[in-house]
Structure 1
Amino acid sequence: MSKLFFKGRIETRQNHVLAGYNVNRDVKAGTAGAPISVIVNTEERKAEIEALLAEHTFIGNVVVDATQEENTSELDGLLNKPQTIRFEKTPNRNEPCLCGSGKKYKKCCA
């Protein structure tokens, strides 16, 4: 028998497998499952934020409170997602050099 053979009640094993924290959730910020919360100071600013939410199809709770500081960090994070930086691939040793000299890369700029 292998070491991985389960010796015990099957019901217990199944319950153990099903329990735990689900890290592969499909809930994203700005959806009905996880609405964003935004605090603004004036009604005019609330109208601007609601227009942005409607334009980008985000769901959020906008609260007007003049005593608190304006907090739109969750909305800013959704609107300004960081882009992946892509670098140009360096040529292989035997390919022509990028500088345009006509020599192989290994003889010129490597």
Structure 2
Amino acid sequence: MSKLFFKGRIETRKNHVKSGYNVNRYIKAGSADAPITVTVACEARKTEIEAITQEQAIIANIVVDATREENTVELDTLLNRPTTATAEKTPSRNEPCLCGSGQKYKKCCA
């Protein structure tokens, strides 16, 4: 049953809708509300990360700790977002063929 046909108390429905995975989608990682945490080993690497975050307008907490392993996973995921894949449109049966023969697609290359 969809939420449009809910016949119970509204307060109960709102509590149900608020629970689940990633309910605060309006809060983006790397913003002031949710800064990312990056751990680096030296000050030189820290300046590199600061330059990258300023260029990309990302807010990050950079921790310099030589005893811990470098952790830039959150920064890498923000910088390497996947792009949308678009497929090339195939012609319909009655459109001219793509090979340039002048025939309809259904009689030439289909």
What is the TM-score with the length of structure 2 in the denominator? 0.81
Provide the C-alpha distance between the structure 1 equivalents of 2:24 and 2:69, rounded to a whole number of angstroms: 34
Q: How far does residue 5 in structure 1 lie from its aligned partner after superposition?
A: 5.2
- Structure 1 unaligned segments of length 5 or more: list them: 7-12
Q: Secondary structure at the match of 1:67?
A: coil
Task: Please list, as runs of the form range in 1=range in 2, the aligned pairs for 1:8-19 lying within 5 A after superposition.
Answer: 13-19=9-15
Q: How far does residue 25 in structure 1 lie from its aligned partner after superposition?
A: 2.8
Provide the C-alpha distance between the structure 2 equivalents of 1:24 and 1:59, rounded to a whole number of angstroms: 18
Provide the C-alpha distance between the structure 1 equivalents of 2:91 and 2:7, rounded to a whole number of angstroms: 51
The residue that corresponds to 1:95 in the other structure is 95
Provide the C-alpha distance between the structure 2 equivalents of 1:37 and 1:87, rounded to a whole number of angstroms: 37
Identity in percent: 60
The residue that corresponds to 2:42 in the other structure is 42
The residue that corresponds to 1:79 in the other structure is 79
Aligned length: 101
Q: Secondary structure at the match of 1:31?
A: coil
Task: Please list, as runs of the form range in 1=range in 2, the aligned pairs for 1:24-35 lying within 5 A after superposition.
Answer: 25-35=25-35
Deviating beyond 2 angstroms after TM superposition, the runs of 4 or more aligned structure 1 residues are 22-25
CA RMSD of aligned residues (A): 1.8
Provide the C-alpha distance between the structure 2 equivalents of 1:67 and 1:59, rounded to a whole number of angstroms: 24
The residue that corresponds to 2:53 in the other structure is 53
